[in-house]
Amino acid sequence: MALSVTAPLASRDAPSGTEIWQSSCDAHGCSFKGDIAHGEEVTPRHIFIDVAVQLSGKVESVTFRLPPDADKGELFAVGFVDSVKDASGSWTLKLVPGATRILDVQDCNATCAVVLPNGIVPARNDAPAFDLGQAMTAHNLMLMFYFSHGERIRASAALFRFRDAVDGAMRHAPK
* 65-117 pLDDT tens trace: 998 888 877 788 999 999 888 889 898 889 999 999 988 776 666 668 888 99
Residue 14 belongs to a domain with what CATH number? 2.60.40.1880
pLDDT at 17: 55
138: pLDDT strictly greater than 80? yes
Q: What is the mean pLDDT of residues 138-143?
A: 94
Q: Which residues is 103 bridged to in the sheet?
A: 76
Q: Which domain holds residue 118?
A: 4-172
Work out the pLDDT band at 136, boundaries 50, 70, 90. very high
Q: Round to whole Å and give the CA distance between 90 and 85.
A: 5
Predicted local distance difference test score (pLDDT) of residue 67:
87
**Strand pairing report for 29-38 and 18-25:** antiparallel
Number of domains in the chain: 1
Q: What is the pLDDT of residue 106?
A: 66
Q: Phi and psi for 26 in degrees, rounded to 5?
A: -140, -165
Q: pLDDT higher for 74 or 62?
A: 62
Q: Does 158 have pLDDT greater than 70?
A: yes
